[in-house]
Amino acid sequence: MIRRSWTKNECDFLRVNYRKMTLKELANHLGRSIGSIYGKAKRLGLLKYPKRKSEWLIEYYGYKLWSKDDIVYLKNNYLDSPKKKIVDTLKRPWKAIQSKANVLGLRRSGIDRKIKRLKLELTDVKKVWLAAVLDTEGSIFFHKTKRAKYVAYCPVVSVCNTDERFIRHCQSLVKPLKFSISIDNRLSQNKDQFLFRSDRVEVVYNFLVAIYPYLIIKKKQAELMMKFIELRQKQLLNHPYNACTPHTELQKNLFKQIKILNKRGK
C-alpha cells in the first residue's frame, strides 16, 4: 500500500474540523483510515477535547468562567438583591448562580435572608381568634436538621385538627403568609389529621408578631421563638459569606427552653 503524503490543504482542514467532526467522518472526507487521521492529529498537536474542562465548557456550551469581580458581586448581593437584578447583572442562568453560591457557602432561602416584615390585613377579632387556635390546637417548636458541620434548628408553627374546613379557614385568614396544608395519619387511626404548618422563618416570625399580644398558653414559647429568630438573623448578617454558621450557646438555650415548655404542656 502506497502511503500518501498530507497536503497543506488537508492539514488545514484537519485543524479546523478535528473537534467538529468524528474520526470516521474525517476519514471518509479525506479518503484516509481512522488510524491515519488520529496519527496526523497527534503529530499536529490537536486534541479532540481541551485539556482543561473549563475550556471545553466554554467552547461547546457557551459557559463563561467566574471572574473575581463576579464573585465579589455575588457575595455582596446574593442574600438581599432581587433575583432578576442578579441574573441581569451577571448575565448567567439562575441555576448557574445558585450552584456557584452553594460552592461559596451562600444560602438565600429560609433563615439566611433578611426577615421581610409582612403586614397582615387582620382585625383584632381575627387576631384573637388565631391566637386562641394556636393556644388550643397549635404548636411552636423546632425541627432539627443535620448539616455538614452542625445541627440546625428550624422554627416551626403548626395547627392540627380533624376538620379540613377549619384548617382551610385558618389558611385563608393569614394571607399573604404561605402556610402549607397536609394530612397526617400518624396521630389518629380513625380520622385524618389536617396540619396547617410552616417552617419558613419569615412566615413563622410575622405570624407570631401579629398574634403575640393575644396569646395566653403559648405566649412564652412565642416570645422565645421570636427572640431566637432575631438573634440568629443578627448572627448571620454579621457573617454574610458563611451561612453554615453554628448556633450560639444562647440560641441553643432558647431551643432547650421551648422544648421543656412543650413537654410540660404549657
Q: How far apart, in whole angstroms, are the C-alpha atoms of residue 229 and residue 105?
A: 20
Q: How far apart, in whole angstroms, are the C-alpha atoms of residue 85 and residue 10?
A: 49
Q: How many helices and strands (H and E) does the chain possess?
A: 12, 4
In a domain, residue 73? The reply is yes
Domain that holds residue 30: 8-43
User: Could you tell me if residue 81 is left (phi over 0), alpha (psi between -120 and 50 degrees) or otherwise beta?
Assistant: beta
Q: How far apart, in whole angstroms, are the C-alpha atoms of residue 70 and residue 105?
A: 15
Span 226-236, pLDDT tens digits: 999 988 887 77
In a domain, residue 115? The reply is no
For all residues of the chain together, what is the average pLDDT? 81
In a domain, residue 99? The reply is yes
pLDDT at 220: 94
Same domain, 184 and 142: yes
Same domain, 18 and 96: no
pLDDT at 127: 92
pLDDT at 213: 93
Span 163-206, pLDDT tens digits: 889 999 998 888 878 888 888 766 555 677 888 899 888 889 99
Question: What is the mean pLDDT of the segment spanning 45-69?
Answer: 64
CATH number at residue 178: 3.10.28.10
Q: Are 115 and 233 in contact (CB under 8 A)?
A: yes
Highest mean pLDDT among 24-28, 49-53, 126-130: 126-130
Same domain, 130 and 222: yes
Q: Give DSSP secondary structure letters for 61-117.
A: H---PPPHHHHHHHHHHTTTS-HHHHHHHHTS-HHHHHHHHHHTT---SGGGSPPP-
pLDDT at 35: 86
In a domain, residue 48? The reply is no
Same domain, 129 and 255: yes
Q: How far apart, in whole angstroms, are the C-alpha atoms of residue 100 and residue 27?
A: 41
Same domain, 223 and 103: no
Same domain, 205 and 74: no
pLDDT at 49: 63
* Backbone dihedral angles phi then psi of residue 114, each to the nearest 5 degrees: -65, 140
Residue 72 has pLDDT above 80, yes or no: yes
pLDDT at 223: 94
Same domain, 82 and 152: no
Same domain, 62 and 183: no
Q: pTM, whole model, 2 decimals? A: 0.57
In a domain, residue 83? The reply is yes
Residue 32 has pLDDT above 50, yes or no: yes
Same domain, 159 and 254: yes
Same domain, 91 and 184: no
Same domain, 137 and 246: yes
Same domain, 253 and 139: yes
Q: Which of 163, 160, 157 is nearest to 177 (CA)?
A: 157
